[in-house]
Amino acid sequence: MKLSPKKQPKFIQFKSLPPYDNDTGLSMADDEEFWPVMGILFAIWGAWTGIIHFIDWLTFDAVPWWAEPFTVAPAIFIMVMNEKYDSLNPLHWWPMFWGYKAKLPEEDRIMIRPLDTDRIVQQHGGPLNVHIMDYEHIKFRRKKDAVMFGLKYF
């Protein structure tokens, strides 16, 4: 016999969240490297700001004090572009703005492996003309090169 809804005992069920990430089982609180790394980064940022402030003080004192910490942005931008495009040359950063994406063929005629990336880039015109986006796509600067690649491999 079923009890009426008014006579059934009420249970409050809380969803208990574990103190760790379900996917990895790692906790952010257990990360012993986070704060030392952040301390080193803040020390570098503070030293940079101090140097910029000193140079600004010695010259024209034209930069406002609140803008001096943000002068590190171009250096960070250069480091990110060097990591992404493997070059400090701004001419090699063209895939960020334009280009023609081509899908790589399914067959093994051209396959991207970590050791083959330099060979494939040089084979198709160098970093000024081609950029490997991922293991399935390649990006050409000129439409003519993308069409020739498609005609050759498809």
pTM to 2 decimal places: 0.62
Handedness of CA 20, 21, 22, 25 (dihedral sign): negative
Which residue did the predictor score with more confidence, 151 or 106? 151
Rounded mean pLDDT of 9-21?
Answer: 57
Q: Please say if the pLDDT value at position 27 is more than 80.
A: no
What are the beta bridge partners of residue 137?
103
Residues 41-85: pLDDT tens digits?
A: 999 999 999 999 999 999 988 999 899 999 999 999 999 999 988
Q: Of 114, 108, 141, which is closest to residue 126 (Cα–Cα)?
A: 141
- H or E stretch covering 140: strand 137-140
Residue 66 has a pLDDT of 92
Q: Catalogue the E-assigned strands of 88-129.
A: 100-103
The reported pLDDT for the residue numbered 18 is: 53
Residue 106: pLDDT band with limits 50, 70, 90:
confident
